[in-house]
């Protein structure tokens, strides 16, 4: 079983500095996308460039999901059992988002090579799953923000108390600079 003090080695994302996390999830994405444009230029194949870009964006998003997973699960363990929110639905939400992201990326890549018989039905299904995915991402950011604030305050908190933390998590490229130092203090 995972240890909330980090003896399981899974808290790498919770201990790195904000700039390292920002680089890993955001800057590296744009550097690698530059590489994909070079591949397009060399090969002359726009399809290959689009595929590489999709894979890069997927990996970047999976890094952010892993960061949220670790914050949500590890901080949750540090909250008093009396007020601790149950993490089961949060875990489902993150897993769904990760599976959907990988599936959507693979589907997008496959559509470059195969003809789909019923694109209308499939696009309705994908749009429905995308709406569900966005709702679950909002829930996940909410869960993490609430847990972080509950740990810091040592009590239950209401939405207004953690709303700014929620938006910092939701807008990762900006919020990571304020959230990660708080997380670093918890897991130093």
In a domain, 183, yes or no: no
The mean pLDDT value for 9-14 works out to 80
Share of the chain above pLDDT 90, in %: 61
**Number of structural domains, the chain?**
1
What is the residue-averaged pLDDT of the chain? 89
The mean pLDDT value for 130-157 works out to 97
- Phi first, then psi, for residue 168 (nearest 5°) are -65, -35
pLDDT at residue 34 is higher than 70? yes
Question: Which residue range forms the structural domain that includes residue 96?
Answer: 12-174
Name the token pair of 140: 């996940």
User: Residues 101-132: pLDDT tens digits?
Assistant: 999 898 888 877 776 666 777 778 889 999 99
In a domain, 185, yes or no: no
The confidence band for 1, taking pLDDT boundaries of 50, 70 and 90, is very low
The mean pLDDT value for 163-170 works out to 96
DSSP 95-110: HHHHHHHHHHHHHHHH
pLDDT at residue 2 is higher than 50? no
The mean pLDDT value for 30-36 works out to 83
Name the token pair of 98: 């990760």
The mean pLDDT value for 162-170 works out to 96
Contacts of residue 66, defined as CB under 8 A and 6 or more positions apart, other chains included, come to 13
In a domain, 180, yes or no: no
pLDDT score at 36: 83
Contacts of residue 155, defined as CB under 8 A and 6 or more positions apart, other chains included, come to 83
In a domain, 6, yes or no: no
In a domain, 127, yes or no: yes
In a domain, 162, yes or no: yes
d(CA 135, CA 18): 26
* pTM confidence score: 0.86
The mean pLDDT value for 181-188 works out to 94
pLDDT at residue 7 is higher than 60? no
pLDDT at residue 70 is higher than 90? yes
In a domain, 181, yes or no: no
d(CA 50, CA 57): 10
pLDDT score at 41: 84
The mean pLDDT value for 17-46 works out to 86
């Amino acid at each position: 079983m995972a240890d909330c003090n980090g003896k399981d080695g899974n808290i790498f994302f919770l201990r790195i500095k904000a700039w390292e996390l920002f680089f890993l999830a955001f800057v590296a994405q744009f550097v690698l996308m530059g590489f994909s444009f070079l591949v397009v230029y060399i090969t002359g194949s726009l399809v290959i460039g689009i595929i590489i870009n999709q894979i890069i964006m997927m990996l970047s998003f999976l890094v952010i999901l892993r960061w949220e997973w670790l914050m949500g699960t590890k901080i949750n363990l540090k909250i008093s059992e009396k007020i601790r929110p149950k993490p089961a639905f949060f875990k489902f939400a993150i897993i769904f988002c990760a599976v959907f992201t990988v599936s959507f990326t693979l589907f997008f890549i496959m559509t470059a090579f195969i003809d789909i018989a019923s694109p209308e039905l499939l696009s309705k299904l994908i749009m429905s799953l995308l709406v569900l995915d966005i709702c679950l991402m909002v829930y996940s950011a909410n869960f993490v923000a609430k847990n972080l604030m509950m740990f810091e305050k040592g009590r239950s908190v209401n939405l207004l108390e953690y709303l700014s933390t929620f938006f910092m998590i939701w807008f990762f490229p900006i919020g990571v600079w304020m959230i990660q130092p708080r997380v670093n203090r918890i897991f130093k």
